[in-house]
Amino acid sequence: MLAEPPALAIIAPCYNEEEVLPISVPAFRSLLDRLKDAGKISHSSHLFLVDDGSSDATWSLIEQYAHDNADLKGLKLTRNRGHQNAVLAGMMEAEGDLLVSIDVDCQDDHNAIEDMVDAFMDEGAQIVYGVRSERRTDSVFKRVTAEGFYRFLRALGVEVVFNHADFRLLSRRAVESLRSFEEVNLFLRGMTPMLGYKTAIVTYTRAERAAGESKYPLTKMLSLAWEGITSLSIRPLRLITSLGAGVALISILGGVFAIGQALLGATVSGWASLAVAVTFLGGVQLLAIGVVGEYIGKIYLETKRRPRFLVEKRVP
């Protein structure tokens, strides 16, 4: 354990969040002040905002907040790199003994950060996951698809924490271990459990967005889900192999049946059945080629070793 209170950095990625920053920044700073006064974190603790290539006044606001408040720092990426890369950029660039990633929209309960710090200090947890206690604020469609997604990932062999997104605490030790993961295709909620350190869970109730619009429409959610599946599991390839073996077995049995019918002198009319079989096999082949192509594409991106993010500015 640390002899002195740990330095905490709250990392919040921002993309076109000019409407919510005036609400979330005071809330985060108030939490930091309360934890400092309670002696749970050091006075060097701060809020670290990452502008993920916003096209509105987000960066101007961050610069103003950093100028007015000594406990706020900002990082501006050269272009929009996506939520996962923005979170990673904050983790790699921020200083502190404890780093907490949280969305800036005030949906995740920032007060749960105190429980996360307690879990680190009292239990020695190097990773503390923020897990939603329920999903009453979600639509029925989102609730069913989100929970189904977590179950599907587990079925494919991906280790994830159920109902956990990207609200988590990492110790400096865990962050430095995460730094050694060099892949370009990121799915942090699946990569973090791979670190293997002692973990704890803090539950919280997720609220409605404080202001602005969600930056995660259905298309981005589906893209993130596919990223998680193909980045951390090769089971889809094995399923294709199993499917191919099954179709081949059915084809062999069908061939044996056709030969038997011919030997018995029976005529088999079957243009419709032949067309169905051909189109079915064609569909299976295209699906298999598409999945294999996705993995090949990821290999291509990984071998290019392009940077995951580039920093344009820092404040202060």
pLDDT by residue (tens digit) across 240-278? 878 777 777 777 777 677 677 667 766 556 655 676 677
Residue 253 to residue 120: CA distance in whole angstroms: 60
Q: For 140-185, write each residue's pLDDT tens digit.
A: 877 888 788 888 888 877 788 988 989 999 999 999 999 999 888 8
Q: Give CA separation, 213 vs 17, 19, 21, in Å.
A: 9, 9, 13
Packing angle, helices 21-37 and 58-68, rounded to 10:
30
| Distance separating alpha carbons of residues 223 and 228, to the nearest angstrom | 9
Please tell me the distance from the alpha carbon of residue 284 to that of residue 280, in angstroms, as a whole number: 6
**Residue 217: what pLDDT?**
67
Query: For residue range 88-100, what is the model confidence (pLDDT) as tens digits?
Result: 999 999 999 999 9
pTM score, whole prediction: 0.81
Q: Which CATH number fits domain 8-215+307-315: 3.40.50.1370, 3.30.70.1170, 3.90.550.10, 3.90.930.12?
A: 3.90.550.10
Residues 77-84 have a mean pLDDT of 94
